[in-house]
Amino acid sequence: MNPLSILDSLYKSPPPDDSLITTYEQAISSITPQSIKLPTLLDFCCTIDTYDHSELLFQLLLNYLPQYASGMANNGDSVEFSFVHSIDKEIRAKGHHQLNQALKYCQKKLKDNSRSINSPIMNTLMSACLASSGISDDLGLSYAISDIESSIGYLPIHELETYDDDFDSDPNASDAATASFLRTLSFILVFFEASILSKFLNIVTEKDSDNSYNLEKMWINYSEEMNQWALMNNIELFISLTKFFKHHQLIDAPRSLSMTGYFPVIPTDID
C-alpha cells in the first residue's frame, strides 16, 4: 500500500475522533524519508486546501529534517526546539537548506497549478522553518537579539511590559504587547533579514540618545498593526509584512519566500 493513501483517506473520509490518534500514528510511522521522497510528499501536500490536520503535516515534515531526527534521538520529545543548540552546526545548516529547497519547490508547484501561495503547505513549512531556525526558544532568541543589537542598536523589550497589562480586560486583544512584538521580530529575522529589521524599526520608531530604540513609542503608534499581525497565520503575515515593507520602500518588490537560520553562541553553563 502506498503510504500516502493514509493521508489521502484522512482528508477524503476523516475517521471518528476516537481513532484519529491511531490514524496519525500510522501516518507518522509509514511516511518516512525511507518510504516516500520529500518531493512526492510535497506534491500531495500542495493539493490540500484545508488546515485540518496541520499538526500531522508539521510532524511529517519534521521527520525529514536532519537536525530534528538528531535532536529527537538524543533529547526525546520536545515542544520547543531548544535542543538544536547542541546539534552540530553543519547538520542544522543542511536542514535549513532542505527547508529552503522545499519552500522553493512548493512555490513553483502552486504557481504552476494556479494555486495561491496562501496555502496550508506553505504555512506548515514556515512553521517548520521557525521551529528549526535557532531562535524559536527564549534562550536562542535572547542571544540572537544580543548579537544583532551590536550592529543595529539596543532593543529595550522590557519597555513593552507596561502594555502587556492592557490586554487583561480586553476580550478582543490578540496577544500581549511583548509577545506580539517578539513574534514580529522573529518572523522578520527568519523570513527577511536583520537589515530589514533595522529599517523596519527606523520606520515604526526612533532611537534615543543612548542608541536605544524607543519601543514604547513604537507600540503606541503601531499596536493596531501588530495586533492584526498577531492574528495572522504564517503565510498571511509574510504577505502582509511584504506589503508593509514595499509601501515604506524597504524592499523594491515582493520576494520569494526563504528562511535564514541562526546560530547564536550560547554559553555551555546555561541551563
Domain locations in the chain as residue ranges: 4-131, 138-247
Helix, strand, coil share (%) of the chain residues, nearest 5: 65, 0, 35
* Higher pLDDT, residue 216 or 12: 216
Average pLDDT over residues 209-224: 93
pLDDT, tens only, 168-188: 555 455 458 999 999 999 999
Per-residue pLDDT tens over the stretch 101-149? 999 999 999 999 999 999 999 999 999 999 999 999 999 999 999 999 9
User: Residue 123 contacts by C-beta under 8 Å, 6 or more apart in sequence?
Assistant: 51, 54, 233, 234, 235
| Residue with the three cell numbers 542544522 | 92
Pick from 60, 73, 65, 2: which is nearest to 32 by CA? 60
Please state the rounded mean pLDDT for residues 92-97.
Answer: 93
Question: So what's the pLDDT on residue 174?
Answer: 47
Rg of the Cα atoms in the chain? 20
pLDDT tens readout for residues 229-243? 988 999 999 999 999
% of the chain exceeding 90 in pLDDT: 60
Residue with cell 509601501: 247
For residues 252-258, average pLDDT: 89
Q: What is the pLDDT of residue 146?
A: 94
> How far, in Å, CA of 152 to CA of 99, rounded?
28
> What phi and psi, each to the nearest 5 degrees, are found at residue 207?
-95, 145
